Amino acid sequence: MTRPRIAVLDYGIGNLHSAHKALEHVGADAVLTTDPVAIAEADGVVLPGVGAFGACMDALRAAGLEQPALDAAASGRPFLGICVGMQMLFDDSEETPGVPGLGVIPGTIRWIPPGVKRPQMQWNRLIVDRPDDPMLAGLADEAWVYFVHSLHGVPTDPSVVAARCEYGTTLNAAFRRDNVFAVQFHPEKSSRHGLRLLSNFVAQCAAVPA
């Protein structure tokens, strides 16, 4: 079987290499790239990220990757946002007021409410809201995944929430909007369940018509 070509947006910040290597491990021909042509021609696109929302958005724009990211998200091809890459898909963030996000998922990134340690830096169990989503195939509710975050996504449309977790309160952990799937946790650091999710993404990319 031909390995699907997956473009990992290389804007110089975040878990770029670990995400890239994990995708290769589960069967992708993954490439770190800033090339709009390579991004447009890929079977799927991944937007990773760690750190601060504003710094990541500034770096994405400085690398000339804002429009290629938006084009990829609108293309119908599989698109995956990871951690701050997930947050960047929202309209904005309380972490960096005044810095606009990509606006692919309408809503705001909000601080985890007081009463628990921030960041949440631990394994936590997913509560799957969309068990039929192909990205969550084989995970079910026993899936434990690894989080490092102080904020979480609050979408305008609650129906886009694909999975949640409990941490002091209920936090949104994964989202589905059309071809775009986005997760707050780090699948590349989440052992077999994270690799299963990435395998599901690679399978979707492999099914993209040539």
Residues known to be catalytic: 83, 186, 188
Helix (H) or strand (E) holding 20: helix 16-25
Decide if 42 contacts 9 (C-beta within 8 A). Answer: no
Cα–Cα nearest to 83, from 120, 48, 32: 48
Using DSSP's 3-state secondary structure scheme, residue 123 falls into strand
Q: In angstroms, how far is the first alpha carbon of the chain from the final one?
A: 14
Q: In this structure, how many other beta carbons lie within 10 angstroms of the beta carbon of residue 136? A: 24
Cross-sheet strand order for the sheet of 90-93: 90-93, 105-111, 151-155
Cα–Cα nearest to 86, from 20, 174, 19: 174
What is the per-residue DSSP string for 153-170?
A: EEESSGGGEEEEEEESEE
Query: Rounded to 5 degrees, what angle do the CA atoms 126, 143, 166 make?
Result: 25
